[in-house]
Chain A
Amino acid sequence: MKKQILILLIVSVFLTGCWNRRELNELAITMAIGIDKVDDEYLVSAQVVVPSEVSMNAGKGAAPVTLIQEKGKTVYEAIRKMTKSSPRKIYPGHLRTLIVGESLAEEGIGDALDLISRDWEVRSDFYVAVAKDSTAIEILNVQTTLEIIPANRIFNTLKVSEENWAATVGVTLDELMVDLLSDGKEAVLTGIMVTGNKEIGSSKENVATITPSAIIKFDDLAVFKDDKLVGYLTEDESRAYNDIIDHVKSTVGTVSCPEGGTIDIEVLSNKSKLKGKIKNGRPEVDINVQIEGNIGAIECSLNINKPDSIKTLEKLYEKEVENTINHSITSVQEKYETDIFGFGNAIHRSNPKEWKTLKKQWDEHFAKMTANVKVDVKILKTGTVNNSITEKWKD
């Protein structure tokens, strides 16, 4: 027994510590990665936290993050090559956003994403976005307020916006992978852009003023065909997209009153069901949207004290949403011929046999198919007051 304990003790001497330990001060904690394509080479940029600047006992006033850039034939090569200019090795375990440059997105993102999904250190819970009209580096080169680490700001902005505004959608890597792999749904990514003066954006000045010179902003959704960017949706179309894929948590909708002016509806619950079917040998989908909401603001002369006017209002909003959805579907069908709504998956679920033949030329079938949209709106409350204050002057 004593001998065994002795052996264990000796062995434990050799087993102490961790084999490939990496101390915190040896890691370049990367919060965002940007991938661009320049002359057949990948230009990868990594937004790395400068720990001393983000610590509680404030730093020396330098930038909170630094951007490391490197070119390479592959993404992996470029990331490893970064050690040539960085004293620490890139650690992507805390990655929050991956920005894809527009030119790369147009060429196809599949190859670039392979590393990200294969590598063991990378998790898959970060957002992927397309840099609209710009390169990824330009996006990652902006200092931000409220969140000192820009990547965190991008992440949180998208998260909050996704929950409160129907036209944004945050796509994580898993979701993107599922869309890319699926036969019956094409991928969509959110567009991200910088507005304002990009040069000042990267300096401390940008966060020193109340109105920053340059800000990062999410824009409309980018539409993909296979893994290639083919265009962008408008705000209304983005909204319809979210309605169809049942991705709206809460938002505000605007209705035009019969006699001019508008009424805002605060949407509290927005649920939609997508069902596929085959009618006369042709694929069709039924989209059922159920919306519940309150009146948020009245900017017209509608008397909401009458139950009838609530009914009219519901009808009006139903029409409004229906029109947006119908219009968006037609526009995607005509402009891009790419099934971002997942109609193919709906057909697959309802008619697996027919799907087998349909899926071979799905893009063409998609462009021709009909969608029956039904919207059901319920307005429950009118907020804290009843009629609008402007009513007084209107008589």
Chain B
Amino acid sequence: MMQNVKISSYQFLVLVFFFTIGTSILVVPSALASYAKQDAWIAAIIGTGIGLLIVWLFTKIGLWFPDRTFVQMNETLFGKWIGTVFSLLFLFMNFIYAALILYHSGTFLTTHIMPNTPMVATNILMGIIMIMGVRLGLETIARSSEIFIVVFFLLFIILVVFIAPKIQIENIQPVFEADMKSIAEGSLTLLVISTVNAVSLLMIFPAFINQPKSARKYFFIGNLVGGLVIVIVTLLCIMVLGADLTSRQEFPSYGLAKMINIGNFVNRVEALMGALWILCLYFKMVLFFYASVYGLAQILNLKDYRPLTYPLGMIAIVLSLAVFPSVVDQHIFDKTISKYFSLTIGIALPLLMVIVYAIRKKRLKKDGQAS
């Protein structure tokens, strides 16, 4: 129906990577440390590990329908009506999360860098480039992510090397003190933010990838490398700031960058590091927004998804400003509602798809041949 877009497997890897670290790099160390204290990094490793299982589930489902997006899969599996209801829920999640990341980028900028600037200004600016990215299409997003991944790793390596002298190993001792429950809770937080939400990527995988089979491998690699970055950042936060300070910080990795001081010469570089977080937030936000716009266009049977970008983008910007009365509400939302919402769409729905597929396998194959 719509134009034929294809991205390479490597580009997909980069997108998965950015999606995995996205918001996590900014907020997860704090959440993990508040659950598991100095064992936060263990929770991060476990979360990443289980994440690979979920990626396996996603790719399995994706490869059953090599040329369909998640919305079309729903329709094929559940029929027109039920499928559309599920798809709408899925799109709603993507749309809300795009707005939430817009909110995150806004609070991050206005808390630390430009406190007197109204969030309207930062969010409109961020929103405009989000709409622009989606209008230019998936290929452009993918290609720009290819360029920015270099910038990301450059900044990331600088951060790690510069903060290394401040590491105090004692801070992670005693190891394995936290009980299983708090570690599990911590891992679940990371799992949901980084991997379960990656169900959105099923809008891209495998339909828009030129070699879906090999892309499957890259889905795993992207998720694993992203998880590794989170583990490293969490470890650094714990070892440099200590578990107590990490859990107290709103944005611990920014607090980490503030600590950089090499011989009184290289210091106050946190604003530069801020670019790192904004970069990750941007790609995650664009992918969420792209998924919601493109999916809606498919449901409405539109020839082109672009006409939807402006109205939905505007709604997203307004939503990002109005969604939480205060930061505290956001904390509560992140800890409760969003977790269950993501788990419903990202775990329960795919599992349901597996069951239905198992039952209707034969008929679907026949129909697939026919159409």
- Residue A123 contacts which of B115, B248, B258 (CB distance < 8 angstroms)? B258
What CA separation (Å) do A181 and B244 show in the bound complex?
Answer: 7
Q: Which chain B positions have C-beta within 8 A of A120?
A: 111-112, 115
Q: Which of B40-48, B170-178, B189-197 contacts A (4 or more CB under 8 A)?
A: B170-178
A125 cross-chain contacts in B, Cβ below 8 A: 259, 261, 267
| Residues of A contacting B173 in the complex (Cβ-Cβ under 8 angstroms) | 349
Cross-chain contact B248 with A181 (CB below 8 angstroms): yes
* Inter-subunit contact A177/B121 (CB<8 Å): no
List, in ascending order, chain A residues with CB within 8 A of B114's CB.
19-20
For the complex, give the distance between the alpha carbons of A19 and B248 in Å. Answer: 29
Chain A interface residue bracket vs B: 10 to 19
Query: A86 in the interface, Cβ–Cβ < 8 Å?
Result: no
Q: A178-B245, A181-B248 are known contacts. Are A352 and B174 too (CB-CB below 8 A)?
A: yes
A349 touches B170 (CB 8 A): yes
Is the CB–CB distance between B116 and A20 below 8 Å? yes
Contacts of B248 in A (CB 8 A): 181
Chain A binding surface, main DSSP class: helix
| B116 / chain A contacts, CB cutoff of 8 Å | 19-20
For residue B117, CB closer than 8 A to chain A, the reply is yes
Q: Is the CB of B245 within 8 A of A177?
A: yes
What 0/1 pattern do residues 107 to 125 of B give for CB contact below 8 A with A? 0000110111100010000
> Counting CB contacts under 8 A, is A350 at the interface?
yes
The 0/1 profile, CB within 8 Å of A marked 1, for residues 239-269 of chain B is 0011011001000000000110100000110
- B174: chain A residues at CB < 8 Å are 348-350, 352
Task: Convert B168-189 into 0s and 1s, putting 1 for each residue whose CB lies closer than 8 angstroms to a CB of A.
Answer: 0010011001000000000000
- Given the complex, which residues of A lie within 8 Å of B261, measured CB to CB? 125
Residues of chain A contacted by B259 (CB below 8 angstroms): 124-125, 174
What is the CB-to-nearest-CB distance from B162 to chain A, in angstroms, rounded to a whole number?
14
A-B contact count (CB 8 A): 39
Query: In chain A, residues 111-159, which have Cβ atoms closer than 8 Å to a Cβ of chain B?
Result: 120, 123-125
Verify if A182 is at the interface (C-beta below 8 Å from B). Answer: yes
Q: How far is the CA of A45 from the CA of B153 in the complex (A)?
A: 44
Q: How far is the CA of A349 from the CA of B115 in the complex (A)?
A: 40
Residue of A at shortest CB range from B166?
A: A174
Q: How long is the Cα–Cα vector from A124 to B244 in the complex, in angstroms?
A: 15
CA distance A300 to B111 in the complex (A): 63
User: Which of chain A's residues 151-184 have a Cβ closer than 8 Å to chain B?
Assistant: 174, 177-178, 181-182
Q: Which of B42-56 contact A (CB under 8 A)?
A: none
User: Roughly how many angstroms separate A58 CA and B94 CA in the complex, as a whole number?
Assistant: 62
Task: Please state if A20 and B117 are interface contacts (CB–CB under 8 Å).
Answer: yes
Q: Which chain B residue lies CB-closest to A93?
A: B268
Nearest Cβ on chain A to B12's Cβ, whole angstroms: 29
Minimum Cβ distance to chain B for residue A349 (Å)? 4
Instruction: Report chain A residues within 8 Å CB of B121.
Output: 19
Looking at the assembled complex, report how far the CB atom of B317 sits from the nearest CB atom of chain A, in whole angstroms: 15
Residues of A within 8 A of B244 (CB): 178, 181-182
Q: Which of chain A's residues has its CB closest to B244's CB?
A: A181
List of A residues within 8 angstroms of B117 by Cβ: 19-20
Would you give the 0/1 interface string for A9-29, flagging 1 where the beta carbon is closer than 8 Å to chain B?
000000000011000000000
In the assembled complex, the CB of A56 is this many whole angstroms from the nearest CB of chain B, namely 21
CB distance from B39 to the nearest CB of A (A): 10
Most chain B beta-carbon contacts within 10 A, residue among A20, A174, A177: A174
Q: Are A124 and B111 in contact (CB under 8 A)?
A: no
* A19 (CB) vs chain B CBs: closest residue: B117
User: How many angstroms from the CA of A19 to the CA of B120 in the assembled complex?
Assistant: 12
Chain A positions 179-209 with a Cβ under 8 Å from a chain B Cβ: 181-182
**B111, A178: Cβ atoms closer than 8 Å:** no
Given contacts A19-B121, A350-B174, contact A174 B115 (CB under 8 A): no
Q: How far is the CA of A182 from the CA of B267 in the complex (A)?
A: 27
Per-residue contact bits, chain B 44-74, to A (CB 8 Å; 1 contact, 0 not): 0000000000000000000000000000000
Residue in A closest to B121 when the chains form the complex, CB atoms: A19
CA distance A200 to B21 in the complex (A): 59
CA distance A19 to B119 in the complex (A): 12
A345 to B116, CA, bound (A): 41
Residues of B within 8 A of A124 (CB): 258-259
- Nearest to A347 among chain B residues (CB) is B174
Question: In chain A, what residue has the closest Cβ to B125?
Answer: A15
> A181, B245: Cβ atoms under 8 Å?
yes
The CA of A178 and the CA of B177, in the complex, are separated in Å by 19
Q: Find out whether the CB atom of A174 lies under 8 angstroms from the CB atom of B170.
A: no
Please report which residues of chain B, range 136-188, place their CB below 8 angstroms from some CB of chain A when the two chains form the complex.
170, 173-174, 177
- Distance A156 CA – B242 CA, assembled complex (angstroms): 27
CB distance from B178 to the nearest CB of A (A): 9
| 12 interchain pairs, CB-CB under 8 A | A19-B114, A19-B121, A20-B117, A120-B112, A123-B258, A124-B259, A125-B261, A174-B241, A181-B244, A345-B170, A349-B173, A350-B174
| A residues adjacent to B (C-beta < 8 A) | 19-20, 120, 123-125, 174, 177-178, 181-182, 345, 348-350, 352
Residues of B within 8 A of A (CB): 111-112, 114-117, 121, 170, 173-174, 177, 241-242, 244-245, 248, 258-259, 261, 267-268
Q: A19-B114, A349-B170 are in contact. List 12 more A-B contacts (CB 8 A).
A: A19-B116, A19-B117, A20-B116, A20-B117, A120-B111, A120-B115, A125-B261, A174-B259, A178-B242, A181-B248, A182-B242, A349-B174
List of 4 A-B pairs having minimum Cβ-Cβ separation, nearest first: A20-B116, A181-B244, A349-B173, A352-B174
